[in-house]
Structure 1
Amino acid sequence: MPMPTRRRLLATAATAAVAAATFARLPASAQGSPPPGSGPSDSRPPGNRQTGSPFTLPELPYDVTALEPHIDARTMGLHHGKHHQAYVTNLNNALAEHSQLHGLSLTDLLKRLGELPEGIRTAVRNNGGGHANHSMFWTIMGPNGGGEPTGAVGEAIARDFGAFEDFKKTFNEAGTKQFGSGWVFVTVDPAGRLEIVARPNQDTPLMDGRPVLMGNDVWEHAYYLTYQNRRADYLAAWWNTVNWGAVNQRLSAIRNGSVL
């Protein structure tokens, strides 16, 4: 076997140095050390617990029929069991050869996209964003939802938007005007005020380090079987599914320092 040339040895050493520098920027949990609480008593949200794969599909917290007539059972079943599952599967596939990243939470992966290996960055953005967005989406809806916002969320909406109807109008307009597929979110700015933002595809404010209080999916797969091209009708009907108790829990967590 021929001996390696000096030029080849120098090139190999340079490549290794670049890789080591990139790896060193990631937190210790991404460098192979198990994160605190990753054992059986792990309290991270569903989908962030380490099993055979880093991420798993969370169960729906209600039956697929629970949101009818506003969201039909067939849409719920396909949306959760097919679309969301595909995001989880594709995210795990992207991370399969990068075990050093398996200790990172989903939020950390999305906040640090620019530090991930370039070859998986787009896959993590699209599928990690899809997993985060949908995991939030299921939990803020529920049977017997709707009505006026309650508690701290109601107070924050009144403070930052005035009447609840004005808040809904601004939210629905942002969702209607989102070109193509995407989401409309309510996030919380550094001063603690609520802000309505739209994002394309499966992008999320988490990628900017901003917490997500609530949001609605305006991809066609979320509504087309019932509403066809009538996105505005879907957005109007969706408010009847919102679980304000769950949204209040998210606001409390955000105010306590959790980025959700």
Structure 2
Amino acid sequence: MSSLSRRQLVLAATTAAVAAAAPRFVFAQATSPSAAAPFSVPPLTYPTTAFEPHIDAKTMEIHHDKHHQAYVTNLNNFAKDNPQIAEKPIVEVLGNLNNVSESIRTGVRNNLGGHANHTMFWQIMGPNGGKPDGEVLAAIERDLGGIEKFQTDFNAAGGRVFGSGWVFVTVTNDGKLAIETRPNQDNPIMDGKRALLGNDVWEHAYYLTYQNRRPDYLKAWWNTVNWTAVGERYAAAKAGTLGV
């Protein structure tokens, strides 16, 4: 073997070692759906550091890359023998769980619910999210008593969730809002409703920074809400086109 070849091998081995040690870029986690893997994690549209100090980067990375990915991996495994769960819109499957085979129904409820919840969660968060305005603000004032009362009541509802779950603002197709909670990874779609926004109160969403201080997390989370995205979801709900 020539000295040039040996140098090339050493360089290749060094490059591989550096690549293996490098931190993984969160946006690479999601892949495009395929026939073999019809479900995928949507990529974040902001860096994992976007919400510090309110939500730390490590929590965002683990939450998106590990927890959400686990739901998607489970769904793709279910879909291998039950392709029908990927052939219909998510809202149709979650809205008609009794039509899902009993052998996988609980798994689909938990994992498709988790996929829907988290897909919404990443969408309604964003840096420099502004404040509610326009029709969303008018609906909050009309149905939830104004922004301060709404946030106080939402935080209180989230704090009362026993164990793991979510606190949502649900929206009807005529734009009426309500604060509701769900256990585990249940989603309002399962009750024929839609989530305008929601906050994850599973410990994996906040524990590295807040430990057992869920109320502190709930208050801080408002600094991460993208009100432009919420306004778009509100318009879609009224138009009858809001998905998950």
TM norm structure 2 = 0.84
Amino acid at match of 1:131: H
- Residue deviations 1:127-173 (CA, integer Å, cap 9, x gap): 00000000000011111125x31121111101112221000011001
Among candidates 176, 192, 210, match of residue 193 of structure 2: 210
Give ranges in structure 1 of 5+ residues lacking alignment: 1-45
Residues 169 and 196, structure 2, Cα contact 8 Å, conserved in 1: yes
CA distance in 1, matches of 2:35, 2:81: 16
- Residue deviations 1:232-254 (CA, integer Å, cap 9, x gap): 00000000111000000000111
CA distance in 1, matches of 2:179, 2:104: 30
Identity of aligned residues (%): 59
Aligned residues: 214
For residue 249 of structure 1, give the secondary structure of its aligned residue in structure 2.
helix
Amino acid at match of 2:164: S
Q: Are positions 1:133 and 2:102 aligned together?
A: no
Runs of 4+ in 1 over 6 A off after TM superposition: none
CA distance in 1, matches of 2:31, 2:104: 19
Q: Which position in structure 2 is the counterpart of 1:154? A: 137
Residues 75 and 108, structure 2, Cα contact 8 Å, conserved in 1: yes
Q: Which position in structure 2 is the counterpart of 1:228? A: 211
Residues 176 and 231, structure 1, Cα contact 8 Å, conserved in 2: yes
- Residue deviations 1:25-68 (CA, integer Å, cap 9, x gap): xxxxxxxxxxxxxxxxxxxxx99955432211110110000111
Q: Are positions 1:61 and 2:45 aligned together?
A: yes
Q: Which position in structure 1 is the counterpart of 2:166? A: 183
Q: Which position in structure 2 is the counterpart of 1:116? A: 100
CA distance in 2, matches of 1:150, 1:194: 15
Q: Which position in structure 1 is the counterpart of 2:8? A: none
Amino acid at match of 1:184: V
Query: 1:1-260 counterparts in 2 under 5 A?
Result: 51-146=35-130, 148-189=131-172, 191-260=174-243
For residue 145 of structure 1, give the secondary structure of its aligned residue in structure 2.
coil
Post-superposition offset of 1:191: 4.8
Give ranges in structure 2 of 5+ residues lacking alignment: 1-29
TM norm structure 1 = 0.79
CA distance in 2, matches of 1:86, 1:47: 14
Amino acid at match of 1:72: D
CA distance in 1, matches of 2:31, 2:195: 17
Residues 169 and 195, structure 2, Cα contact 8 Å, conserved in 1: yes
Q: Which position in structure 1 is the counterpart of 2:16? A: none
Post-superposition offset of 1:189: 3.3
